[in-house]
Chain A
């Protein structure tokens, strides 16, 4: 460790160079040099008391000033629109579910929505409001308080940006520019003022980057208290950001890449003892992998603990989990399956749904009635179990008696869809999505049908006890097709729009006995001839539920693909974002209504994007000069240039590029985390470009930048604060014809 520290120390001395701007001036023995190599003169406090006070405390006063401004902008007129704005409809509703403790399902992890619930609780809201889109808030919902709760997260972004810029060693000018840009971006401002997850996502993204830069600056003092503190905080922040939205994984990837590079560097340090190197690894594994996962899981544990009543999201979970929720109607189920029973069938794979059919037919293949897996309660999920037609006819009379015949392992049965009376059927036709497997359809009726309607029930095991019968919820079943020998399977492949984005059901030719997607269990069960079952003791494992829910979230998220038949005016393409070619109307556009338009501050977005390009050119330029042995930078400066460049550019790419690959529908606000990296890059690049200028030029250049940001913000401020006059009065602000600010 000692050697390590000295290494850096000696290089600094040897170079005898300090950055021209921004590089922290560490007092060195015995003499200090200023940037021109002259003697460094210690600061003398001026005579004027106010100036003296300013010089002594400006590192507190400036951020304090910006923080105050930040809170003021975020809170100003926050209750102006007394209607449910945009996605408040979703997240408000989810918050209500926490207050009512009803189980719901959503594609995002729970932390953000639990905080919505918390905000509601603190505001004294009882969860009874429906949060219909565009509805007026009733008097008893203190929506202003709830909005303030989230705006607080948004407000802290500004000081975080300030201190991050400081940690990145920006010059005072650049620090202020970055802060100002975060403060005065209309998009950040607008999105922070409502009950939405984005302000929290942004807040935790900002904290992650801040903690990472803090940690980076402790690199020469490993395993010190501060080093541990910032490492642990980085890990916690990663945990939080991913628990709000999965988009947080992008900033996690940034931290991951940083860590890999760091460890790779240390790997090449032959003077470092192996035990120390191992310690570095362990510290990172514990703090950056295990700790975040623990936080993520903790959020889900709390989620499950709060939501202990049956609610709209039940069907996404396993039958046993549902049985553990209060208020469901499983207790009336007869326990053992018998011929003639009506039941619903649940797929036991992670994220599995209920076997479903509806009158719509397959557009290709057999063109017979569709069979899918569906995650919501519906009478189309109900099926009857019957014997083979041949046996049925013989036993016609017996069936009418009160005798009950239970279904056993290896019985050949027919499954009849309750509302259409068609039989579950499979045949030599390839499935629509998973082409290598057979299609499953509904075909015929009570009389009409063939051998392809028959399935052999195979019991895998029973989760509770061994019994020859088939028990509701606990027995794991497989269905083998009698003639094809394939197995009924649903593996989260989503059907296109013609199948209503429900999950495809296929018949798998390959018998893979350990594939849980071929396992099914009975969920609801009705049979008048059988006695109602008691309340058996059902219990599930947290890890199982946790994993199950995450797979379900992943599947639903993938199903959010743009619908080619329907034009979504709010959605946009990723390539439209960096140049701010779109804005979003986030509420009704009546002339008299209070309106908000989600649109960034154009000067910030455009200069951010321009700076990314400029950086690439700067980088290549310096690279070529170095290849020709022109060293414009000292080694330390070059490393720092690369470090900041990598953080900003790779951070931006990580937050932007994945949206091109994603199949799901994308919106403008998905770009907001990436914007932060372009803002930092903008300040950094301006810093680099003016590094050789004198102080006055710098004042002028940065002064103009500040002014531009402030003026453009002032011009556009109404779209973020809300306006109740006709949008046509803002005609002059429609700078691009692709914005729909004005009709």
Chain B
């Protein structure tokens, strides 16, 4: 009966799902007992290899982890963010919170209070009392675990021990991975969780013949959780999501095939199971860290100004909730430009009749942006009577949409703009003022107050309302930018009218009401406002995305993706001029280049196979081909997805963005090695179905040449690693001659190069 059913699976007939798996464990146990006896020796070899690799990995990652005792490269950012969690002050970063929360957790555990600001590269940790070794141990430990993880992924994928050793060895001896993971940076968490995801998914997939069993569910949920964790470290985790997503779609597509014999209902069960495990679960994991993020960061901090006023009011001790006052007509205020922090200012001097470029001005009174407090920044808000509802009292609150006049107190003039080009930008309108008793150009002095996200009942408040001032007559917005006017305006900032009146840079804030002070309460008040979690969450996601794509500021060590696989250039992390020491992020050139070569070989082999199959020639045996297509192509796809999207990104990119892809390329290299030097493969490797005896169709044959090649490759890797290790660990210092001999490519811009002599 059992036999009969199993055979049917491959037929066209629809088979009922194996709904009962009760007797499975019994079979399984028997099988395992048999296996243990048979494979004890193999197990010992495999486990001891794993142990040795892990040990070596921890040694290489933790060697001299206390050196340098200074802030290195991006520790500036991530160390700082961890400190903010410990101080519970709000900050803003483009990356999700998990990795920084983990660092903060370690810091909290070690009793660090977050007092250090990590301001500059080179600041000393010891004198500032930062438990930096503890902080660095976390990424280093996770970085060290990458080696055993790689090993286990390869073993689970059905490769012999020697192939797994090669893959893990390549990871072990990679200078870039070591360098990047033993500092307070996010990448080791990212890569660690990424590999965990792959490991769990592969375990899950191997249970495909025991659908809906406990193990099946466990590994799927585990994949979902680790996927969520990857995403919570950096948004690059989306590439991992895409990789797993494609694997799942291919899997589902095969299940959908009528030849597999699943009914539509059964298929839907598969579909919904994966939707829960691999979509819903990761989303909840992702949300959870943000929940924690908001819960911890409840105090006002450096990240306030990135957020909306409503958000800021939820933070304790925020200026907005403390010092915000409602503005009434006939109040005198100062107006501050949000992005450049200058006050709207005017003084009796006039615009020159003719500018240097020959254009002509109105010769009106100058209106400028001024950085400092000054009585010339005072403006009186008057209602524009003709637009005003007469029933409103004289000193009513100013609300969204109200029309106002702004009187400059010191010169008794009204702010005005008109269709005259501004001093610096011919496209924008000039701002000037008009004596207040002159009504001839009344319309040109009327402005409308528009409060961001306001409706007609929103009151204009100091500090907390973001407003745009739109000119009634010409619809331009009051605007300024960081260009300074010439001497005739005392090098103050230009103010002009922006025709694009919805731009974000049009935002102004009423800084204070002259003569009205807020008495500061002694104890920080509890936040005035509560925002639902999702409102905060989505606001932060939007900001993260927009700031991430806005990171375009050129950096001397940024590079383009095309250079990464070939290791054209590294990044200088840290230097010490006294001892000629430096940390320079550079991969192990040998392992980087063989992994690129291996990928080229894989593509070549698959193309050749495709072409010959088209001519009905089948050069590769079915199990080997299957493995190459499933496992090899999966790793290759993982490499491609973690690499290619960077070409489309506009932001500045760095070599360490390649590290997730790099690990995938090492696994591809091992797959290619296996294809070239190991005969056949272990097949099948999936856990057998509940009612079927294990069968072995093919077994990998490891030959002497396999072992020799692997040893040679790893030996060279180790030598090259050792040769470049001073750049990785930052010590010892290297003489200029040593630098020159290590500059295998001219484009590696190491420090302390010998001075170039005249040719």
Seen from chain A, the residues whose Cβ lies within 8 Å of a Cβ on chain B are 264, 267-268, 270, 435-436, 482-485, 509-510, 566-567, 624, 627-629
Residue total for B at the interface (Cβ-Cβ under 8 A): 17
Q: Is the CB of B427 within 8 A of A628?
A: no
Closest partner residue, chain A, to B616 (CB atom) = A270
Q: Is the CB of B614 within 8 A of A510?
A: no
Contacts of B614 in A (CB 8 A): 264, 267-268
Contacts of A267 in B (CB 8 A): 611, 614-615
The digit string for B245-287, where 1 denotes a CB below 8 A from any CB of A, is 0000000010011100000100000000000000000000000
Q: Is the CB of A268 within 8 A of B253?
A: no
Among A268, A436, A627, max chain B CB count under 10 A is at: A627
CB distance from A669 to the nearest CB of B (A): 23
Q: Is the CB of B427 within 8 A of A436?
A: no
Closest partner residue, chain A, to B613 (CB atom) = A268
The digit string for B723-759, where 1 denotes a CB below 8 A from any CB of A, is 0000000000000000000000011000000001011
Known contacts: A436-B747, A629-B258. The answer to whether A567 contacts B615 by CB under 8 A is: no
Q: Is the CB of A624 within 8 A of B256?
A: yes
Contacts of A436 in B (CB 8 A): 747
Q: Is the CB of B253 within 8 A of A627?
A: yes
Q: Is the CB of A485 within 8 A of B758?
A: yes
Query: What CA separation (Å) do A566 and B759 show in the bound complex?
Result: 46
Q: Is the CB of A627 within 8 A of B615?
A: no
Contacts of B305 in A (CB 8 A): none
- Kindly state whether residue B500 has any CB partner on chain A within 8 Å: yes
Query: What CA separation (Å) do A624 and B500 show in the bound complex?
Result: 49
CB distance from B380 to the nearest CB of A (A): 33
Contacts of B427 in A (CB 8 A): 566-567
Known contacts: A485-B758, A510-B746, A567-B500. The answer to whether A628 contacts B264 by CB under 8 A is: yes
Closest partner residue, chain B, to A480 (CB atom) = B759
Closest partner residue, chain B, to A624 (CB atom) = B256
Contacts of B257 in A (CB 8 A): 627
CB distance from B222 to the nearest CB of A (A): 29
Q: Is the CB of B615 within 8 A of A485?
A: no
Q: Is the CB of A483 within 8 A of B258?
A: no
Closest 9 CB pairs of A and B: A485-B759, A629-B258, A268-B614, A627-B256, A628-B258, A267-B614, A627-B257, A270-B616, A483-B758
Contacts of B500 in A (CB 8 A): 567
Q: Which of B126-184 contact A (CB under 8 A)?
A: none
Contacts of A627 in B (CB 8 A): 253, 256-258
28 CB contacts below 8 A, A to B, read A264-B614, A267-B611, A267-B614, A267-B615, A268-B614, A268-B615, A270-B615, A270-B616, A436-B747, A482-B758, A483-B758, A484-B756, A485-B756, A485-B758, A485-B759, A510-B746, A566-B427, A567-B427, A567-B500, A624-B256, A627-B253, A627-B256, A627-B257, A627-B258, A628-B256, A628-B258, A628-B264, A629-B258
Seen from chain B, the residues whose Cβ lies within 8 Å of a Cβ on chain A are 253, 256-258, 264, 427, 500, 556, 611, 614-616, 746-747, 756, 758-759
Contacts of A567 in B (CB 8 A): 427, 500
Query: What CA separation (Å) do A354 and B348 show in the bound complex?
Result: 50
Contacts of B616 in A (CB 8 A): 270
Among B500, B614, B616, max chain A CB count under 10 A is at: B614
Query: What CA separation (Å) do A435 and B557 show in the bound complex?
Result: 10
Contacts of B615 in A (CB 8 A): 267-268, 270
Known: A270-B615, A436-B747, A510-B746. 11 other contacts (CB 8 A): A267-B611, A267-B614, A268-B614, A435-B556, A482-B758, A483-B758, A485-B756, A566-B427, A567-B500, A627-B257, A628-B258
Query: What CA separation (Å) do A627 and B267 show in the bound complex?
Result: 12
Contacts of B747 in A (CB 8 A): 436
CB distance from B723 to the nearest CB of A (A): 24
CB distance from A494 to the nearest CB of B (A): 16
Query: What CA separation (Å) do A424 and B689 show in the bound complex?
Result: 79
Closest partner residue, chain A, to B610 (CB atom) = A264
Closest partner residue, chain B, to A268 (CB atom) = B614
Query: What CA separation (Å) do A628 and B746 show in the bound complex?
Result: 58
Contacts of A628 in B (CB 8 A): 256, 258, 264
Query: What CA separation (Å) do A408 and B219 show in the bound complex?
Result: 78
Closest partner residue, chain B, to A430 (CB atom) = B556
Query: What CA separation (Å) do A483 and B755 show in the bound complex?
Result: 12
CB distance from B683 to the nearest CB of A (A): 26
Contacts of A485 in B (CB 8 A): 756, 758-759
Contacts of A482 in B (CB 8 A): 758
CB distance from A673 to the nearest CB of B (A): 23
Contacts of B759 in A (CB 8 A): 485
Query: What CA separation (Å) do A267 and B610 show in the bound complex?
Result: 11
Query: What CA separation (Å) do A485 and B758 show in the bound complex?
Result: 7
Query: What CA separation (Å) do A482 and B758 show in the bound complex?
Result: 8
CB distance from B482 to the nearest CB of A (A): 13
CB distance from A376 to the nearest CB of B (A): 22
CB distance from A260 to the nearest CB of B (A): 13
Query: What CA separation (Å) do A50 and B759 show in the bound complex?
Result: 93
Contacts of B758 in A (CB 8 A): 482-483, 485
Query: What CA separation (Å) do A701 and B756 show in the bound complex?
Result: 79
Query: What CA separation (Å) do A211 and B556 show in the bound complex?
Result: 52
Query: What CA separation (Å) do A267 and B758 show in the bound complex?
Result: 60
Contacts of A435 in B (CB 8 A): 556
CB distance from A721 to the nearest CB of B (A): 30
Contacts of A566 in B (CB 8 A): 427
Query: What CA separation (Å) do A576 and B117 show in the bound complex?
Result: 45
CB distance from A419 to the nearest CB of B (A): 20
Contacts of A483 in B (CB 8 A): 758
CB distance from B499 to the nearest CB of A (A): 8
Closest partner residue, chain A, to B254 (CB atom) = A627
Contacts of B746 in A (CB 8 A): 509-510
Query: What CA separation (Å) do A483 and B256 show in the bound complex?
Result: 71
Contacts of A509 in B (CB 8 A): 746
Query: What CA separation (Å) do A482 and B556 show in the bound complex?
Result: 27
Contacts of A484 in B (CB 8 A): 756
Closest partner residue, chain B, to A482 (CB atom) = B758
Query: What CA separation (Å) do A482 and B757 show in the bound complex?
Result: 11
Query: What CA separation (Å) do A722 and B614 show in the bound complex?
Result: 58
CB distance from B654 to the nearest CB of A (A): 14
Among B253, B257, B615, B759, max chain A CB count under 10 A is at: B759
Query: What CA separation (Å) do A435 and B563 show in the bound complex?
Result: 14
Closest partner residue, chain A, to B12 (CB atom) = A629
Query: What CA separation (Å) do A510 and B256 show in the bound complex?
Result: 59
Query: What CA separation (Å) do A624 and B556 show in the bound complex?
Result: 51
Contacts of A268 in B (CB 8 A): 614-615
Query: What CA separation (Å) do A498 and B731 show in the bound complex?
Result: 43
Query: What CA separation (Å) do A567 and B257 show in the bound complex?
Result: 54
Query: What CA separation (Å) do A509 and B753 show in the bound complex?
Result: 15
CB distance from A611 to the nearest CB of B (A): 25
Query: What CA separation (Å) do A510 and B759 show in the bound complex?
Result: 12
Closest partner residue, chain A, to B258 (CB atom) = A629
Query: What CA separation (Å) do A563 and B615 show in the bound complex?
Result: 53
CB distance from A276 to the nearest CB of B (A): 15
Contacts of B611 in A (CB 8 A): 267
CB distance from B262 to the nearest CB of A (A): 10
Closest partner residue, chain A, to B746 (CB atom) = A510
Query: What CA separation (Å) do A628 and B257 show in the bound complex?
Result: 6
Query: What CA separation (Å) do A270 and B614 show in the bound complex?
Result: 9
CB distance from B510 to the nearest CB of A (A): 29
Query: What CA separation (Å) do A267 and B264 show in the bound complex?
Result: 37
Query: What CA separation (Å) do A131 and B759 show in the bound complex?
Result: 55
CB distance from B424 to the nearest CB of A (A): 11
Query: What CA separation (Å) do A509 and B756 show in the bound complex?
Result: 11
Closest partner residue, chain B, to A428 (CB atom) = B756
CB distance from B665 to the nearest CB of A (A): 25
Query: What CA separation (Å) do A629 and B756 show in the bound complex?
Result: 72
Closest partner residue, chain A, to B759 (CB atom) = A485
Query: What CA separation (Å) do A629 and B262 show in the bound complex?
Result: 13
CB distance from B583 to the nearest CB of A (A): 21
Query: What CA separation (Å) do A264 and B616 show in the bound complex?
Result: 13
CB distance from B551 to the nearest CB of A (A): 17
Query: What CA separation (Å) do A462 and B299 show in the bound complex?
Result: 75
CB distance from A666 to the nearest CB of B (A): 16
